[in-house]
Structure 1
Amino acid sequence: MILVFTHKITPRVRYIFKHILTRTLLIPVDFTTKIEEFVAYNGPKLSYTKTPLGNEFFIKSNNLLFEQGVNDLDFTIQKWNNVPCFFNTNLKSTIPFDIFASSFYLISRYEEYLPHVKDIFGRYTAEQSLAFKHKFLEKPVVDIWAYKFLEILQEKFPDYEYQKRDYEYISTIDIDNAFAYKYKSLVRSVGGFFNDLFKFKLVETWNRFAVVCNIKSDPFDTFDKILRLKKEYNVKTIFFFLIGDYTTFDTNVSASKGKFKLLIKEMVDYAKVGLHPSYFTMQDAALLKKEKERLENITNMPVKRSRQHYLRFSLPETYQNLIDLEVEEDYSMGYASNVGFRAGTCTPFYFYDLDFEIQTPLKVFPFALMDTTLNDYMKLTPKQSLGRIRDLKNEVKAVNGTFITLFHNENLSNYLRWKGWKRLYESMLKIATS
């Protein structure tokens, strides 16, 4: 165990020290405000306050962990062994910046509570983040800092037995459209047929006709292949099903269709299944509840995990709504427009609610990349995408983190905008599991 002396033990102090030391470095931590207790302790210890007590392991504290609410902050970015960092300290401090305040700033998503301009879908954009502006979005800096910090701890306290965590990979699949043409309502099928015909999309017109008439299989029905690859590469896989009512942004098969229900039940037998709350659930708690209950009625199991459709979430409201509905895990933490680490970490963390100043029971699983980001936003080829995937995986592997990817069943279809992308998913699994 490591003992931390600080002048005041706040919920923020407890939260971030436990995240860095216990969840990331697997070192139990305890706190004291009593100097005599700190001096008498013989194990690993450090002081986190304004001035050192003596010549102990000392980190000069920034005010952030002793404040409440959200304020405008000033940043000076410097380098610590070539890694960007901020909240600089002084020469008396063992490390040149406040690792705990910096980590808290990124993980709590402090910047997303400040006034900002949302994109057309009502989302916080990567471009406004500190990580994007200072070019460290593609590095899990919180974990890199933690491991550098561990090296110093090991030098200072060589007799302590340190444990090592293992690298983990999780493949997540969003089901926005389980089928391209099958099991859609008569109105949608006929409307789509004439729409394609009117726009001279003759290939799509033929494919729609052939699928509906059972001449061809549906191009988006790639579930058997995903399950085969899951088994072959022994990959932890989670499917997130969109089962909201039809809107411009939510175009999946109706959740009342027997075949769609059957598909969901089948996936439950082979993998984990979560809810993909529809576009308008971001700030609509009643709609979120309705969809959660709908999925629970299909699976006969409580819904424990979720990822927002279009990655639309607003802090803290969306997460507060999930907590109220007893959802335990959220997988929305990432950007649609950029790959990388939105919260600066590749370690799952508990959501800290800055409104109430408490650690909540909602565990956030940040993903590193999404297929539509690579294709639609970054305009990369499958080959270029594989290079980016390899780089991100190496960043996570270097700190024994959790590498999470977001793909869609459509990606494996080799159809329409996914032409030429058919093999990318399997190639990624090879890289991620090697």
Structure 2
Amino acid sequence: MSQVFTPVSSPAAVNRTLGGSDIKTLVLASLGGALEFYDFVVFVFFALPLSKLFFPHDTAPWLAQLQVYGIFAAGYLARPLGGIVMAHFGDRQGRKRMFTLSVFLMALPTLAIGLLPVYASVGVLAPLLLLLMRVVQGIAIGGEVPGAWVFVAEHAPRGRVGFACACLTSGLTVGILIGSLTAAWINHHLSPADVLGWGWRLPFLLGGVFGFVAVWLRRWLSETPVFAALRERKALSRELPLRKVLTGHRGAVALSMAVTWMLTAAILVLILMLPSLAQKSFGIAADTAFLGNSLAALGLCIGCLAYGWLVDRIGSARALLVGSLALVATTYALFADLAAGGTHFLSLYALTGFLVGAVGVIPTVMVAAFPAPIRYSGISFAYNVAYAVFGASTATLIGYLAERAGPMAPAHYVAMTAVVSVVVAVWLMRVPPSADLELAR
């Protein structure tokens, strides 16, 4: 199984620091990713008002929220479709083209959600339209995230790919921070009646505008040197890229899906869902819950960079091991504090967000798992199928478990996925060091 790790780079690549061109690529790619990821995740921050507005008034509150989480999960189920199609063309025609298309496909449905009629106006058509827009969002994000990781990794110099991928992941999490801050501002400055009346529309309308800004930003990016070299040498995959992934790289697919499970649990449960869980299960005030979430999202942005720096110094396997174990410890500490009244909620949530930054290691593991001609397809298939399975089920499962199995159930779930990543990290440490992260531009 030593073939799991393969070079990202051309043989001529050399060790060097990030130059001006590299920094420009990272900034533009990360900012565009932040705006697109905001569009995708802001939905969950407004799960409570959406559950009241898009379903009959006599629906039990817990069931309405479960139905909204189901619509949220539909975006994850749609990800493989978008990811597989965009990755196919990304491996055949270029990374940049698909990198731009995904943002455009995200902006349109996000803007549309902000304009949708509610159940009181059009009845059952309201949740159906919401579901349709969420599916289109899922198709867009399915091509965005894997394509973004491949794009920055293939631009980065050797010895800097861990940090480059982490910068992009940090940029994506900035989108979560923007969504969290937006939700916090709206909940603080508007009354509950105003939020239900019109305030919930604001983040989606802003998100649509953000998305079109991201499309414009990506005009200034260039194709990756790795893909350009493959095209020049006529070394692009001649057979269907996905078929080659499934027939020759099953080990890389399994490894990538395993670590993606922890990524989905950490982001969904600890960052996206915890504000609602803290309110419903532990009685934390909405203002405090969203303030804590903003601190956690900021910590996540910084944590991704810290773990990316660590990858370039000790390797992805050791960084993943350290990060997974730390995540288990801080998750239980946070939930234990919430169960005891939340005295240290803000500080522990900020620390938890920082340690969730261990997810910044995961893209480097996946980028190194597939050879360049099928890299986009390999990552996209493994990541999006895993996210469809785990991401789609997590939101509904956690909502149910928190209601039925006790408030500590979400912590147990996150810990279980982190243990899986510990096993993966230990296995990866058996890979010869010379094969680990030989990545370059």
TM norm. shorter chain > 0.5: no
- Which is richer in strand? 1
More helix by share: 2
Structure having the higher Rg = 1
TM-score, normalised to structure 1, is 0.27
TM-score, normalization by structure 2: 0.27
